Homo-oligomer: A and B are copies of this chain.
Amino acid sequence: MTPQRVTLITLGVADLDRAKAFYAALGWQPALSYEGVAFYQMQGAALALFGLTDLAADQGRSAGELGTGAMTLAQNFATEAEVDAAHALALAAGATSVKVPQKAEWGGYSGYYTDPDGHVWEVARNPFWPLAPDGSLSLPKP
């Protein structure tokens, strides 16, 4: 079974500067900001703003194919084996694989599947973002 947990919500955005300005106007401050992506700390989880085309590329799809996947939910795990198991379990449960878990350019290990309604879940190990024992995520200091 997989934990009842969302570690990261990613919003695909057409214009990252515009999106960051919008959330800044709401009072949100990124904990981490890189070229092309910004991460915001929430209670036990994080929200990311990420370019739509980058998000599509990361899923191996075109931006037009994203559908509700223009917002994705991610579960982080401690090991690659747990990522593989979560992906396999989802397929066994009727999910459609979007990307078999594999080494990611950013140094982690990540796969994607869609649930029966097309909602996109990422399963990932991020060695730079260890989880607390309760499964909550605290973004590292930049």
**Which A positions have Cβ atoms within 8 angstroms of B?**
1-2, 4-6, 9, 11-15, 18-19, 21-23, 25-29, 40-45, 47, 52, 67-68, 70-71, 73, 89-90, 92-95, 115-119, 134-136
Contact = CB atoms under 8 A, between A and B. Distances in A.
28 contacts: A1-B26, A2-B26, A4-B28, A4-B29, A4-B40, A4-B42, A4-B47, A5-B42, A5-B43, A11-B117, A12-B68, A12-B117, A13-B116, A18-B116, A21-B94, A22-B115, A23-B115, A25-B92, A25-B94, A26-B89, A26-B93, A44-B136, A67-B70, A68-B68, A68-B70, A71-B71, A71-B73, A71-B119
A19 to B, nearest CB: 6
Nearest to A66: B68
Number of copies: 2
Contacts of A115: 11, 19, 22-23
A9 B6 contact: yes
A117 B2 contact: no
